[in-house]
Chains A and B, each alone.
Chain A
C-alpha cells in the first residue's frame, strides 16, 4: 500500500507554470471557469534567494478539510489520496477556511452561500464515481491512477522539480539529489553551486 505525496524540489523549479497548464488540460472536463487546482508561488521574487514552489492539495495524512467538512464528503483512498464527493458537498466553504494550503476552490461567489461544489486536486485519481465513467470525467477530471499512471503535472514537469508518487520513492529521489548537490553553506568556505 502506497502513500501518495507531492514534493516540489525548489532548487529546480523555474516557475514555468507547466504543471498548472498540464493540470488544466488534463482535468479540463471538471474545471469550471476560474478554477486552477495547482499554482506556482515565487518567494523573494526578483531578489537574491528567489525560490519558486508549485503547490496544490497536499493530500494530508490527517486532513483538516476532511475533519471540518459538515457534509462529511471526503475520503482517503488506499493510496492515501484525499478525494471528495461532489454530490454530497454543500459548498459551505469550511474546507477552504481550514486547509493550510488554500487548495479547495469554488466555481461561484453568489450571495447566500451559493459557491457551487468544491473542487480541488485529485492527484489525478478521479472521484467516487465508477472509474473512467462519464460522470467521473465531468465532475473530477482524469483518473490516471486507475490507469497505473502518475499525476499529469509531475509527469510534464520540464525540470523534474515536481515529483509525485509513493512517499518513499519520492523521498529517495530527493535524497539522492541532495547528496549529489551537496549542502551549500553548511561548512565554512564550501559553496558548490547546482550544476557547477
Chain B
C-alpha cells in the first residue's frame, strides 16, 4: 500500500502530464486511501481509526498559520522523494553518461557523415538572422539550465564529496540562483522557437523511410551510402523539435510552479512538479547531447548553418534534397553574395 498512490500516479503522469498538472494534483485526495472517510467517521469512537485517518491525511483545527498547517501527516511527498531518489536521480546519471559515451563509441566506429561530393563553396541561405538569434539564446539558456540543474540533482553525489564545504555551498547556491533567473529566458526563447519553427516541422510520410535507414548516417553494412529523402528538417530533427516542444512545456510549467513559493501550492503539487521537472530534464538533456554531437562532429558542414545562416549547396542536396529541389523550383533559393 505504501508507495502505490504516488507511484501509480507517476506512471499515469507520463502520458497525460498536462491534464494532471492542471486538474488532479491540487487535491489531497491522492493521499487518502479508499477507506478514509469511513475511518474518519469511525475515528470518533476508535483510537486506531483516528490514527489511521490522521495518517491518511486527515486535517484538524489549529491556530498555526501557513498552508496545510492543520494536516498532521502527509505521506505523499515522501513517496515522491522515493521515486526521485530511486529512479530519477540514477536515470539522470545514465542519461548523461550513457548517451554521451554511446555517441563517442558510435563516432569512433562509424566516423562522421562526410559530404560525398565535398564542399561546393556555394552557400545557400537556410536560416534568417532572427532564427540564429533565437537558436543561440535558446541554446545558451538551455545549457545554463542543464549544467546548473545537473548540479542541483547530482551535485551532492558527484561533486560535493570532492570539494570543501564552503566551495560546495557557493556552487550549489550559485547553481540555484542561475537556474532560477535563466529559466524565464529559456521560456521566452522556447516559445519563439516553437511558434516560429513549427511549420517547418510537420511530420511527412518520407520521414518514416528516413528512420528505416537511420538517416543515412551509418557508414557500414546495408545502410552505407544511403541518402533518404528529407525536407527542410529531417526526421531526426523533427523528433528533437517535438521533444523540446512537449517537454519544454512540461519543464516550463513545472519550473514556474517550483520557482514561485508565493503560489502556496499543496505539497502534492510541488512534489509532482519536481518529478515532472526532473523527468522532462532527463529527456531534454539526453536529446541535447545527441543534438550537439550531430551538429558539431557527426554531420560535416552542418555547423555552418547556425554560424552564418548559410549552408553549402552540396550539403543541402545531400541532407535536405526535397527542400533544395523545392526552393530551386519556386525561386526562393538565395546564394550568399
Residues of A at under 8 Å CB distance from B?
Answer: 17, 20, 34, 36, 39-45, 47-49, 51, 53, 55, 64, 67-72, 87-88, 90-94, 96-102, 105-106, 108-113, 115, 185
B258 / chain A contacts, CB cutoff of 8 Å: 92-93, 113
Q: Is B291 interfacial (CB 8 A cutoff)?
A: no
Q: Is B80 an interface residue (CB 8 A)?
A: yes
Asked if residues A43 and B62 are in contact (CB atoms below 8 Å), the reply is: no
Residues of A close to B264: CB separation below 8 A: 109
Asked if A67 and B176 make an inter-chain contact with CB atoms under 8 angstroms apart, the answer reads no
In the bound complex, how far is the Cα of B155 from the Cα of A22, in angstroms? 39
Whether B85 and A92, one on each chain, are in contact in the complex, defined by CB atoms closer than 8 angstroms, is: no
B187 to chain A, nearest CB (A): 13
B residues neighboring A (CB under 8 Å) = 43-46, 50, 53-54, 58-66, 68-75, 77-78, 80-81, 84-85, 152-153, 155-156, 160, 165, 168-169, 172-173, 176, 180-181, 258-262, 264, 267, 270-271, 274
A45-B155 in contact (CB<8A)? no
Question: Are the C-beta atoms of B43 and A112 separated by less than 8 Å?
Answer: no
When the two chains form their complex, are residues A93 and B271 in contact, meaning their CB atoms are under 8 A apart?
A: no
On whether the beta carbons of B62 and A40 are closer than 8 Å, the reply is: yes
Name A's interface SS: loop
State whether A110 touches B262 (Cβ < 8 A).
yes
Return B6 CB to nearest CB of chain A, in Å: 12
List 27 A–B pairs whose Cβ atoms lie within 8 Å, in order of A's numbering.
A43-B43, A44-B44, A44-B60, A47-B44, A49-B45, A53-B72, A55-B72, A64-B77, A67-B85, A68-B81, A68-B84, A72-B168, A87-B169, A88-B169, A92-B152, A94-B274, A97-B81, A97-B270, A98-B81, A99-B78, A100-B74, A102-B71, A109-B261, A109-B264, A112-B260, A113-B180, A185-B46
Question: How far apart are the CA atoms of A159 and B128 in the complex, in Å?
Answer: 77
